[in-house]
Amino acid sequence: MNPVNNENVLEVQGIAMSFGGLMALSNLNFQVKRGIIKGIIGPNGAGKTTLFNIITGSFPPTNGTIRFKDRPIEHLKAYKIAERGISRTFQTIELFGNMTVLENIMLGCHTRIRPSFLASGFKFPQSGRKEKQILERGMRILKFIGLNDKFNHLAENLPLGEQKMVEIGRALASEPELICLDEPAAGLNETETHLASSLIKAINAKGITVLLVEHDMRVIMNISDEIVVINYGQKIAEGSPEEIQNNPRVIEAYLGSEA
């Protein structure tokens, strides 16, 4: 665990989202302190991915504000939010399948180079230098996620576990301050899950704040510093993993429907 100060990197204030009258999220409030791993859990359809989509700018919320480093971002488009320093992975893998692993990671560096069309076309020296820089950075990141020997493989040809790693690597490449991981362990076997957990911890150790949606309770309880529980689009609990595990409302939300 990193030394935690009280500065909030992300503040979710009164977020509501309705799709054609259907309330996916209502009046959601929570904060994320800088440098922690914050887990978000909740039963299927609780609104976790919707929340991620709003934070990262896929669509604006119906109501409420999201502040990142004290500036509102809920009205910004996805690419602007990425430029501000939030990065993400997707629940259903959204790799660029027709591009190599290295190219996927290099695309992650896009916010840092923002190539201009004319500079690219005329091959201005500065664009070549930038390309070289991000190529080197891409290889470093591949080493970090342990896939440097597969840099030249097409992303779509990798097994699922490695695809998930590449997605995380790509998200890291933009040097984010906050990284949103949407079910990084879904579909992974025991070993891969273990690898993913240690990778997330290693990312956090670099000082990057992590927002984590995950169904695998062992993962989330092991690595999260704090957890928010969402059910039916509303926050029903927030606290440390121990507090959450013993919270009667959480137990009811997870078991109540089956009992």
Binding site for another protein (CB under 8 A): 56-58, 77-79, 82-83, 87-88, 90, 94-100, 102-103, 106-108, 110-111, 113-117, 120-123, 127, 130-131, 134, 152, 170-171, 174
Structure tokens at 68: 């990142």
- Beta strand pairing status for 234-239 and 8-19? unpaired
Least distance CB 26 / another protein (angstroms): 22
Nearer residue to another protein within complex by CB, 20 or 159 = 20
Burial degree of 236 (CB within 10 A; 0-12, 13-18, 19+) = middle
Nearer residue to another protein within complex by CB, 103 or 226 = 103
Least distance CB 245 / another protein (angstroms): 32
Least distance CB 163 / another protein (angstroms): 12
**SS3 category, 240:** coil
Nearer residue to another protein within complex by CB, 71 or 123 = 123
Nearer residue to another protein within complex by CB, 48 or 170 = 170
Nearer residue to another protein within complex by CB, 91 or 222 = 91
- Beta carbons of 209 and 199 less than 8 angstroms apart: no
Residue that has been written with the tokens 């929570």 in this structure: 30
Query: Cα–Cα distance between 238 and 244 in angstroms, integer?
Result: 7
Tell me which long-range contacts 121-125 makes (C-beta under 8 A, separation of at least 24).
Answer: none
Least distance CB 114 / another protein (angstroms): 8
Least distance CB 23 / another protein (angstroms): 18
Least distance CB 237 / another protein (angstroms): 28
Rg of the chain (C-alpha set):
19
Strand stretches in the chain, DSSP E: 8-19, 22-33, 37-41, 63-68, 71-72, 86-88, 178-182, 209-213, 226-231, 234-239
- Beta carbons of 241 and 227 less than 8 angstroms apart: yes
- Beta carbons of 238 and 208 less than 8 angstroms apart: no
Nearer residue to another protein within complex by CB, 79 or 207 = 79
Structure tokens at 38: 């914050």
Nearer residue to another protein within complex by CB, 132 or 218 = 132
Least distance CB 109 / another protein (angstroms): 8
